[in-house]
Structure 1
Amino acid sequence: MNANQTTPTCTSTPRRTKSEFPIKVYAMLELADNIFEFAQAVTWLPHGRAFKIHDKVKFMNHVVPVFFNQTKIRSFNRQLYMWGFRRIGRGDEQVWFHDNFLRGKPEDMKHMVRTKIKGNTAVSNEDVSVPNFDDLPPLLFVTGDRQLS
């Protein structure tokens, strides 16, 4: 390259932050409080320690495309598992929780780590101990202009 030529510029895309997925899930749940169509599909549970997908079809057709590139619920679930979320219940029950994913405490998400699952190894939910959320102290969180507990 001679002096008359310009140096090539880097055109790579900015690196995504490591916690992008949990941040998007959190934003999705907060937005669901204000958008009825979203709230029919997914909401925080009243205690703020877990969320529930109420309607998988509405969730995948109306909510997920706004935040994610996934087109299948299994892909979304796989991401949740890789981020350490645990599922409560079986079959169509879609309730998810993570110790560092709490309503009103988005700063706790910085402790969440994505694990890499190699190959087709299935993530097991068999030995998950599910806390009794009713026995835990209430979370205080703000939604809109009101404080909830």
Structure 2
Amino acid sequence: MTIDAKTPDKYIEKLPEDRQGAVSKLRETVKNNLPKGFQECISYNMIGYVVPHSLYPDGYHCSPKLPLPFINIASQKNFVAVYHSGIYADKNLYNWFVAEYPKHVKTKLDMGKSCIRFKNVNNIPYALIGELCQKMTPENWISLYEKNIKKS
């Protein structure tokens, strides 16, 4: 499900009504919990939180003109997703999240490498997502990215 929007507000406006509330609440959760330095934008046709070029001039190795992506929120065809690059790059963070998830939600965790999928918007653990957002600063992410992901 691709949504063509220039701002996060416009992205949410274009969502089906039954998704607007959940995506808005996820957006607020991320914004209220991310350490200073990340910037909100539209990234890859999703609501994105990136390390701006002012903090990391190299940008994203796949496309250096783009800022370094960190978190995205998206409404996909069959689910709402949170894409968290830190979970992909940091096994300890991944393990923490997987262990914490059942303490917040009774349904099974549906997760890919960096994608956390919520087929039922009533089962989104906002407090846990908030905690996850607090665990990595832009500087931590840059260091981890350069160590584990960026191609030399």
Structure (1 or 2) with the larger CA radius of gyration: 1
Name the TM-score, length of structure 2 as normaliser.
Answer: 0.28
Larger fraction in strand: 2
Larger fraction in helix: 2
